[in-house]
């Protein structure tokens, strides 16, 4: 599989000027930072309803889209909740500690830590 930046080969990126590459990156990022992109992302995620999966041992109570991330930048992944609670989404946040501290301080009324109680599982 060739190494590619969307629509560009590594060879092309290496051969072009830095300003040309920067322009291509800028153009690509403009398309991914628009409201429509995020709405489309949500629609895409909702195509995978964990609550509809049947493993023959009962419906799952939690499904994660976590993937290993080796970079320094973080990512946020909204995941539809699999249980009929007041929680509509589980929002997985993999980010630097300082970013999480800001969210806990400024948005604790929106986000709360994920605990076993969120799953509504009877013991």
Q: Is 7 left (phi over 0), alpha (psi -120 to 50) or beta?
A: left
* DSSP secondary structure of 68-116: ---SSS-EEEEEE-SSSSS--EEEEEE--HHHHHHHHHHSTTT-----G
Using an 8 Å Cβ cutoff, are 90 and 118 in contact?
A: yes
Over the stretch 38-62, which tens digit does the pLDDT of each residue have?
A: 888 888 877 877 667 777 887 777 7
Over the stretch 82-119, which tens digit does the pLDDT of each residue have?
A: 666 565 677 888 888 888 899 889 998 888 888 877 77
CB atoms closer than 10 angstroms to residue 62: 15
Q: At residue 36, does pLDDT exceed 60?
A: yes
The DSSP bridge pattern shows strands 4-5 and 8-9 to be antiparallel
């Amino acid at each position: 599989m060739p190494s590619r930046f969307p629509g560009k080969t590594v060879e092309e990126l290496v051969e072009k000027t830095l300003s040309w590459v920067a322009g291509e990156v800028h153009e690509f990022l403009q398309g991914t930072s628009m409201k429509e992109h995020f709405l489309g992302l949500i629609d895409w995620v909702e195509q995978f309803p964990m609550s509809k999966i049947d493993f023959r041992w009962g419906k799952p109570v939690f499904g994660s889209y976590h993937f290993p991330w080796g970079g320094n930048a973080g990512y946020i992944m909204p995941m539809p909740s699999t249980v009929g609670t007041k929680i509509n989404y589980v929002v997985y946040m993999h980010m630097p500690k300082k970013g999480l501290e800001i969210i806990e301080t400024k948005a604790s009324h929106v986000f709360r830590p994920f605990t076993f109680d969120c799953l509504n599982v009877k013991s």
